[in-house]
């Protein structure tokens, strides 16, 4: 298997990630289990969204995988059972355990992801093509929820820019709009306002095009060495690590390039509380709670009560230049 090294400013050496022996052992296990890139896992052969590694890697096309280490020595991975059992995905219910309980029958194949709007080459990708956009990478990102809890998750996927470049955005495109699947039969929250938190569905989100093209902006098709479970946004979701988690839209079916700022679900529902940008900012509180500190979920006890200081842009200083001319207290 070929591992591609790409040194980025937000990466640290492997020996600064959690415990070096544990992390290196994890990589050895991936190789030993036939993780030939992610192709041995992420393919139509594993159509179930909860697919595990195959005992027989032969049917799978060999793929390259880029491993990206964690950013800080203090950032230990959130246990998988916590990251897959504590979710905000109102399409399946508003309780943190509802998505895991209510989404297990969610069908992700067949699937179609459309990329259209102000592009020269519109795209329609089926389930298998989601895993062939570009060489799959593993990236360990901090995830900061607007509710002041956080996790550290190893995602598998591709930079969003790799997909957008294939569609060739026109010079008029200034924003990128995203839309979640609308399927009330599979997603009970979409057909029941009580279960779905009063949201108008389908769920929609948006980024400026420079945010979307930034190297950190990621499309995830897996996590913890497996395909995404449905409660985490299978089969494909957005991950924008310097923004609050609600920007990282799940189960995406459409990406549209536009010249106008697109509507976003939480800004529509409560504009006084949720702005378009949603950058993690400890100096701008939510109207109902402070954003200066966060609770890092570890799985010890009842999702431990240890608090840590929140960092501007969730610690990803590489994106600061995107907002040098913006008042972040006004455009929150």
Q: Tell me what pLDDT residue 228 has.
A: 97
d(CA 204, CA 177): 7
Domain edges within the chain: 14-321
H/E/C letters for each residue in 5-26?
CCCCCCCCCHHHCCCHHHHHHH
Instruction: State the DSSP H helix or E strand holding residue 208, giving kind and residue range, or none if neither.
Output: strand 204-208
* 32 or 132: which leads in pLDDT: 132
Q: Report the predicted TM-score, pTM, of the whole model to 2 decimal places.
A: 0.83
d(CA 118, CA 139): 29
d(CA 137, CA 56): 22
Measured CA distances, 311 to 17, 146, 254, 321 (Å): 19, 13, 31, 16
Residue 175 has pLDDT above 50, yes or no: yes
Q: Tell me what pLDDT residue 30 has.
A: 43
Is the distance from CB of 109 to CB of 240 less than 8 angstroms? no
Is the distance from CB of 65 to CB of 136 less than 8 angstroms? yes
d(CA 64, CA 134): 9
d(CA 185, CA 168): 35
Tell me whether strands 237-239 and 252-258 are parallel, antiparallel or unpaired. Answer: unpaired
Say which range, 13-17, 26-30, 104-108, 293-297, has the weakest mean pLDDT.
13-17
The band of 194, judged by pLDDT with boundaries at 50, 70 and 90, is: confident
d(CA 208, CA 177): 9
Residue 285 has pLDDT above 80, yes or no: yes
The band of 141, judged by pLDDT with boundaries at 50, 70 and 90, is: very high
Instruction: State the DSSP H helix or E strand holding residue 138, giving kind and residue range, or none if neither.
Output: strand 136-144
Residue 299 has pLDDT above 80, yes or no: no
Q: Which two tokens stand for residue 247?
A: 């920007």
Is the distance from CB of 248 to CB of 232 less than 8 angstroms? no
Task: Say how many Å lie between the first and final Cα of the chain, rounded.
Answer: 43
The band of 296, judged by pLDDT with boundaries at 50, 70 and 90, is: very high
> Residue 220 forms beta bridges with which residues?
157, 237
Indicate the CATH number for domain 14-321.
3.90.420.10
d(CA 238, CA 248): 5
């Amino acid at each position: 298997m070929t591992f591609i090294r790409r040194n980025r400013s937000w990466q640290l050496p492997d020996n600064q990630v959690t415990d070096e022996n544990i992390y290196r052992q994890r990589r050895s296990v991936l190789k030993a289990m036939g993780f030939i890139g992610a192709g041995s896992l992420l393919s139509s052969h594993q159509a179930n969204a909860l697919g595990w590694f195959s005992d027989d890697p032969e049917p799978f096309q060999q793929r390259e995988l880029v491993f990206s280490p964690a950013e800080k020595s203090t950032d230990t991975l959130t246990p998988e059972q916590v990251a897959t059992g504590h979710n905000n995905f109102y399409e399946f219910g508003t309780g943190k355990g509802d998505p895991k309980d209510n989404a297990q029958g969610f069908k992700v194949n067949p699937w179609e992801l459309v990329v259209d709007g102000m592009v020269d080459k519109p795209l329609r990708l089926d389930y298998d093509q989601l895993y062939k956009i570009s060489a799959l990478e593993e990236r360990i990102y901090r995830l900061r929820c607007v509710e002041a809890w956080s996790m550290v998750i190893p995602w598998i996927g591709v930079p969003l820019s790799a997909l957008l470049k294939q569609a060739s955005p026109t010079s008029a495109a200034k924003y990128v709009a995203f839309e979640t699947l609308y399927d009330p039969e599979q997603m009970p929250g979409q057909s029941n306002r009580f279960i779905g938190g009063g949201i108008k569905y389908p769920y929609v989100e948006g980024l400026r095009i420079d945010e979307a093209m930034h190297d950190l902006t990621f499309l995830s098709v897996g996590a913890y060495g497996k395909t995404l479970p449905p409660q985490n946004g299978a089969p494909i979701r957005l991950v924008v690590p310097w923004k609050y988690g609600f920007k990282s839209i799940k189960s995406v079916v459409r990406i549209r390039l536009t010249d106008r700022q697109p509507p976003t679900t939480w800004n529509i529902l409560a504009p006084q509380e949720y702005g378009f940008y949603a950058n993690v900012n400890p100096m701008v509180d939510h109207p109902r709670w402070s954003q200066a500190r966060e609770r890092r979920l570890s799985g010890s006890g009842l999702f431990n009560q240890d608090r840590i200081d929140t960092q501007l842009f969730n610690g990803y200083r590489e994106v600061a230049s995107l907002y040098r001319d913006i008042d972040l207290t006004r455009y929150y």
